[in-house]
Structure 1
Amino acid sequence: MRVQKGRCLCGDLAFAVEGQPIDVIHCHCNFCQRATGSAYLIETLFAKEQFRLLHGTPRVFIHTSIRARAAASAFMFVSATSAGPRHICCSSDFRIPSGVYSDTFDKKDWFVRRPEKALYFYLSNAPVGKVLPSGHQVFDAHYWRSDGVAADAQIFDVHTLVTEHLKAESKKRLRDHEH
């Protein structure tokens, strides 16, 4: 299998992955928005064995999600609004151990983005005006609910514009699931 390399902006942290990612996540949660300084994060997920740190020492940041589960994330911060590659350790919140900010790869388009592997998280928090592509799984929040059960996804038949109404429907489904 071919090895793909990447690094943070300043180059202090470098990594390599081998093989195709398990999933490609487009996440619109508050954490990912703040971590990237953008409307969403694109993250490629790999099995732990596929990921290798080549050099540098990431800083560890412990984040407790809104569902009150801790996730340890290693970061190399390179500016106030961007983070370099991150390695998500196994925790009770994440089922896939290694995630990498997709735009930190040296080659940006090396991995396949198939609809069944490119997932969209947190429709409930996506910005109005965002276009969701047809044929992709879109989740109201994360694909794991707080009770550990896989969430239901919706798949739009046509490209769909995020509106206030669409977000309100998403938030209502989340509230209904809590009860």
Structure 2
Amino acid sequence: MTAFNGHGRCLCGAVHYEIASPPVRTTICYCRFCQRASGGAQVILPVLARADFAFVTGDPATSTHVSEGSGKELNLRFCGDCGTRVAIEFERFPEMIGLYAGTLEDPSIVPLGPESAKQIFVSSARPGTVLWAGLPTYWNHAAAPDGTPEKAVTLARPMPVEEVRFD
């Protein structure tokens, strides 16, 4: 992989990865799984083609969980030494991989514009969480388990989750 040459790593440096293309989209997820996995109010996951990703040092551990939203497996890839989660693999979307944005050496490559980013599972956002303006925002996932697109709203201004209406 040399064309794009993006890099990331865990906190202790035992696990390194590289990416051959910039992320194609970013998912900002507020579901309880992502809150627990990230330790925050949401997770920011830049997503790219699985074929453009490779671990180059270290042997990351895997923890498998079932998504509450889709019923499909999620494989969290993390450093066995320091515990940093670096990537997530989706049974529902096997051709893609998500990266934990904070593990990128250059987080400025994360696309955050309305054409490439979205907010999902705002139904699970913690009270007081302020949602981003200008992005497609979904009550649950952007697509139903059968692939049917869900309805999105786009906020004109940053807004506390309690003020968002999907009707």
- TM-score, normalised relative to structure 1: 0.81
In the alignment, is residue 6 of structure 1 matched against residue 8 of structure 2?
A: yes
Alignment of 1:20-39 (within 5 A): 20-39=22-41
More strand by share: 2
Residue 124 of structure 1 aligns to a residue whose secondary structure is: helix
Residues 77 and 160 of structure 1: is their aligned pair in 2 closer, same or farther, counting only changes over 3 Å? farther
2:75 aligns to what? 72
Q: Point out where structure 1 has 5 or more consecutive residues left out of the alignment.
A: 174-179
8 Å contact kept, 1:36–1:83? no
Residues 73 and 84 of structure 1: is their aligned pair in 2 closer, same or farther, counting only changes over 3 Å? closer
> Aligned letter for 1:112?
P
2:51 aligns to what? 49
In the alignment, is residue 84 of structure 1 matched against residue 101 of structure 2?
A: no
More helix by share: 1
8 Å contact kept, 1:8–1:78? no
TM-fit CA distance, 1:142? 1.5
CA deviations on 1:56-75 (whole Å, 9 max, x unpaired) are: 11112111112422233322
TM-fit CA distance, 1:86? 1.3
TM-fit CA distance, 1:78? 5.8
- TM-score, normalised relative to structure 2: 0.86
Q: Point out where structure 2 has 5 or more consecutive residues left out of the alignment.
A: none
8 Å contact kept, 1:45–1:96? no
Residues 94 and 78 of structure 1: is their aligned pair in 2 closer, same or farther, counting only changes over 3 Å? farther
C-alpha distance in 2, partners of 1:26/1:136?
10
2:120 aligns to what? 121
Residues 53 and 101 of structure 1: is their aligned pair in 2 closer, same or farther, counting only changes over 3 Å? same
RMSD over aligned Cα atoms: 2.2
Residue 85 of structure 1 aligns to a residue whose secondary structure is: strand
TM-fit CA distance, 1:44? 0.6
Identity %: 26
